[in-house]
Amino acid sequence: MKCDRCGRDFPSEFYFKAKGVCSDCYDKLTPEEKVEAKKPPKIHAMTTTAFTIDGYQITKSLGVVRGIIVRSRSVFGTIGAGIQTLVGGNITLFSELCEQTRADAFEMMVSHAQEIGANAVIGVRYDATEIMQGVTEVLCYGTAVVVKAIE
Ligand SMILES: [Zn+2]
């Protein structure tokens, strides 16, 4: 494990006072910085496809949260992608669209989680369904939880 402040490598969590801050660096922090260092990071960093988060314990489960985006392909994008399909390789016009759609669904899920008081989302999954020709529903879901750092 590396300390985020001094960059030194330590064999275990035992040498850390807070997430990413070793004992030596922690002692040099101001009282405000110490409080800040003990706080869990922002919820975006606290999302995982796993069902646990290293260094944290789940104190409360708030149920499933989801974000759904329904998007159609634009006619121009479809023509461009059609040309790319002939050339082969990565169809960037579609991968950008999928990437953006998934990011939007993810953002929506995260804000729902925050609304109900969660500070982390575990077991995050994506799902996509084609509702009709050219119209795709992208679903991002996970379990909203409240976690606290393990002392
Ligand atoms: Zn350090």
How far does residue 7's CA lie from ligand 1's centre (Å)? 6
Q: For the whole model, what pTM was predicted?
A: 0.65
Going by their DSSP bridges, the two strands 56-72 and 135-149 should be labelled as antiparallel
How far does residue 52's CA lie from ligand 1's centre (Å)? 25
How far does residue 9's CA lie from ligand 1's centre (Å)? 9
What dotted CATH number matches 42-149? Answer: 3.30.110.70
Is a pLDDT exceeding 80 seen at residue 140?
yes
pLDDT, tens digit (0-9, with 9 covering 90-100), for 34-59: 888 877 667 777 899 999 998 999 99
In the chain, where are the structural domains located?
Answer: 1-39, 42-149
- Which residue type is seen at 146? V
Strand order in the sheet with 56-72: 56-72, 135-149, 120-132
Query: What's the confidence (pLDDT) of residue 81?
Result: 77
How far does residue 11's CA lie from ligand 1's centre (Å)? 13
pLDDT, tens digit (0-9, with 9 covering 90-100), for 61-70: 999 999 999 9
Structure tokens at 125: 């999954």
Q: How confident is the model at residue 71 (pLDDT cuts 50, 70, 90)?
A: confident
Q: How confident is the model at residue 30 (pLDDT cuts 50, 70, 90)?
A: very high
Which residues are CB-neighbours of 41 under 8 A, at least 6 positions away?
19
